[in-house]
Chains A and B, each alone.
Chain A
């Protein structure tokens, strides 16, 4: 479970172009829950995602992670959780690698290398053996029916295939939480619905899912347990979808 307590993120503090992307947000993300952040562009959804996903540090406020293990907090009980707001980068990244899988709006796959290698990349710094995560990567390719593209360069894949490679990459370290930023922005309706199907299967597998989107196919989906509306960095409406 992830808890945000009065979290703010401010860019270029003290300068003339100071800009508050997230303003005093308090939020709770439950385990196994699909949460959708809804709002126009510039509302702070993406920044909020980066804060929840341990990708950035808040300017103020606290972020607590519960039930998420970390190698360096052996004595903290799971109820209290621990505050990640002031963790040094290397610890934050360690948590992020093992806990969060990201799917980006532009897919953000590395050109010039194969689909398989792209999927394996997040596992490189973990220190796990190459044979181990290669095996897992091949399993993921099979799961998404793109095994035939194992040795294909990214440049040769279609939009739908790229999307599936991106999702497979997010799953390589078996994370508990999936974070997706505008995943359907570059997809047609058919592929968007396919995407939501995959999300459904991930939810059934027990993963917590966080999606930022202004696409009705996403926020109106029956899979969304919680829809949070944002505007100008603040939450304007948070509702659990019945």
Chain B
């Protein structure tokens, strides 16, 4: 293992998050089994107090997850020089088979933690904790995923040994090689552009429709999730090309570097924000008829929809301005 401070920091942070979630999950089981709001017993009062702790833990978990997602990419980038052929984070992550799965799981956990917090927010607006069991069932899914992510991350870092020859992004993301990265880059740029702008327009339109007419919530949520994936694929397929002004550089991690004005952060932050908010809308849809939430959920959903649209709009504006204002043309 490469014993670097950054790697130790990542392992520590994942360990802490896993421990916190296991602790929360333990009480989550108790809550799912024993929760009874009508009873004024000591157990019930204690469980109610415990929910505060778990909310705090989840709040911190989301913050830590986002933090560690970016730190992970940065660490991978900082160690790329230790591997022959690795030009940036994309190469480092490809050194062993745990690199990319860890990254994907980190992103998934960010989304899940965000959705949990949205459900929690809605639950707190209801005077009878209407979504308590839903929340904690979701926690039962999230906790093992976070632990799995910590294990994969450990597997990745402990399997790193300097000087290993790896395929760098040049060959990883260039057409002709058979691997995930190559397939993404292999998606032809012009059709992807159409697809990207198309799905974005559909999402924004359905979002506006949902806000005004209060119908089509599921559609909007599904569209926003699809947008998330397509936008991510577009980053590799054509967006990066405009940022780097090179027709062959498809790596989605180099846009986080100083040379490109750290534009990668803005792109990823808006993408994540839009994804989480959009997913939240869909997650709340099944519950909008519960008596105690009848007023609260529609207004929360409206706010989330606006937020999601705003984030995606910002993303699109950044992409479009890159496409219009650089002299690079595909």
Contact = CB atoms under 8 A, between A and B. Distances in A.
A82 to B, nearest CB: 9
A86 B33 CA distance: 18
Contacts of A12: 42
A58 B42 CA distance: 10
B45 A72 contact: no
B40 A57 contact: yes
A52 interface: no
Contact of B45 (A57, A73, A90, A91): A57
Interface in B98-139: 124-125, 127-129
Contact of A88 (B41, B42, B48): B48
A74 B295 contact: yes
A90 B126 CA distance: 10
Interface residues of B, number: 14
Contacts of B41: 13, 59
A88 to B, nearest CB: 6
Interface in A54-91: 57-60, 72-74, 85-91
Interface string B253-296: 00000000000000000000000000000000000000010010
Interface in B192-213: none
Given A72-B125, A74-B295, A91-B127, A86 B42 contact: no
A74 B292 CA distance: 11
Contacts of B129: 88
B38 interface: yes
A-side interface size class: 10 to 19
B63 interface: no
The dominant DSSP class at the A interface is loop
A85 to B, nearest CB: 7
A90 B42 CA distance: 18
Contacts of B127: 72-73, 87-88, 91
Interface string A22-53: 00000000000000000000000000000000
B124 A59 contact: no
B85 to A, nearest CB: 56
A86 B130 CA distance: 13
A90 B55 CA distance: 14
A86 B124 contact: no
Interface string A157-199: 0000000000000000000000000000000000000000000
A14 B41 CA distance: 10
Interface string A1-17: 00000000100111000
A9 B40 CA distance: 9
B48 A60 contact: no
B37 interface: yes
Interface of B: 37-38, 40-42, 45, 48, 124-125, 127-129, 292, 295
Given A14-B42, A60-B40, A72-B295, 18 more contacts: A13-B41, A13-B42, A57-B45, A58-B40, A59-B41, A73-B127, A74-B295, A85-B38, A85-B40, A86-B37, A86-B38, A87-B127, A88-B37, A88-B48, A88-B124, A88-B127, A88-B128, A89-B48
